[in-house]
Amino acid sequence: MKIRFILNPVSGRNARTVRLRPLLLDYIRDRSLDAELHVTDGPGHAVELARNAVQVGCQRVVAIGGDGTLNEVAQGLVHTPAALALVPCGSGNGLALHLGIPLAPRAALELAAASSARITAIDTGSVNGHPFFNAMGLGLDADISLRFNQLTTRGLPAYVSTGFSAFNQRRSQRCKITVGNRTETLDILLIAIANSDQYGNRAFIAPGASVVDGQLDLIAIRPVNHVGAAFLGSRLFLGTIDHSPDTFRLRGTRFIIERPAPGLVHTDGETHETGAKVEVCVHPQSLRIVVPALLRGIAIPAKTPSADFAPQPL
């Protein structure tokens, strides 16, 4: 089996990620793998490396980094026969946690490189042409991502601190949300659309969501004060945020969100400027991925669906 490892050396601003390079080289050598290690040198490079891996016949491509690295590598593998594997090293690791991927590097490597590993096809999403694999968002959600990406120190405490700072300067928006024949107009603090059940760090923005149901979950949070935000924060980690009267949830395959003006969205934590009209679509079973043999509480098919993985645009 031909494997390509793609390492982001600055993922999560984490010194541990840099130290993984010699571990990876030793791992490849000790197991006599038909594999090579590539290190990214900037934004977009992982997409290029993943696409090239498919072209040269790699059956598996391993993303070593955080959610941004996952996003770029997965972009190069959507609708191809190559399977994505994850060695999560970021500050959130939302999709990895949802799928039960080990967070310990050695255990994650063992799963990623195992020739007998279980592979399944999961859904992916896109927003105004930008792919995402775990979650996207706008409003306060995107503002927090923009601020967080400018930090030199990452992790949950930094994310919480950034969230409080952004919340103190919050602005609500009146948005029209359309899914199928249903339209709702709401004042919102943020909108998140999730493929998995969580942002990362076990912060469950869409409890019960599944990456194999052919749908995405939209969660809108109405404007709240500081007390309301504290209650929502606790519900986020308890997995009950959708039980709050301050949230609104829809499930569907395509959402159109019309907001007052152009602005930011984020895709797996990376921000983009987009128009006032935001269109989000699901792409069912479009990414093959390595998963653990046993997944507790997650409905993953036992066998990879016999889908046509000929290259297609998102």
Positive/negative CA dihedral, 133, 270, 262, 137: positive
Q: CA 74 to CA 220: how far, in whole Å?
A: 26
275, 281, 280, 282: which is closest to 259 by C-alpha? 275
Separation of alpha carbons 242 and 98, rounded Å:
18
Q: How far is the C-alpha of 258 from the C-alpha of 281, rounded, in Å? A: 15
Q: Which domains are present in the chain?
A: 2-123+286-291 (3.40.50.10330), 130-282 (2.60.200.40)
Do 74 and 133 meet the contact criterion of CB atoms below 8 Å apart? yes
Report pLDDT for 309.
35
- State the pairing for strand pair 247-252/216-221: antiparallel
The series of mean pLDDT values per 10 residues for the chain, 314 residues long, is 93 64 91 95 95 98 94 98 95 92 93 94 97 96 82 67 76 95 96 96 95 97 93 94 96 98 95 97 98 64 38 35
In sequence order, what are the beta bridge partners of 119? 290
Tokens 């679509």 — which residue?
281
CB 68 within 8 A of CB 46: no
Render pLDDT for 55-101 as a digit per residue (tens, 0 to 9).
999 999 999 999 999 999 999 999 999 999 999 988 889 999 999 99
Name the CA dihedral angle for 92, 93, 99, 105, rounded to a multiple of 10 degrees.
-130
pLDDT at 155: 63
Q: What is the pLDDT of residue 137?
A: 96
86 Cβ contact partners less than 8 Å away, ≥ 6 residues apart: 62, 63, 70, 95, 96, 99, 101, 108, 112, 289, 290
Contacts of 231-238 with C-beta under 8 Å, sequence gap 24+, read 236/203, 236/204, 236/205, 237/202, 237/203, 237/204, 238/204
Phi and psi, residue 256, nearest 5° = -120, 125
What is the pLDDT, as a whole number, of residue 18? Answer: 67
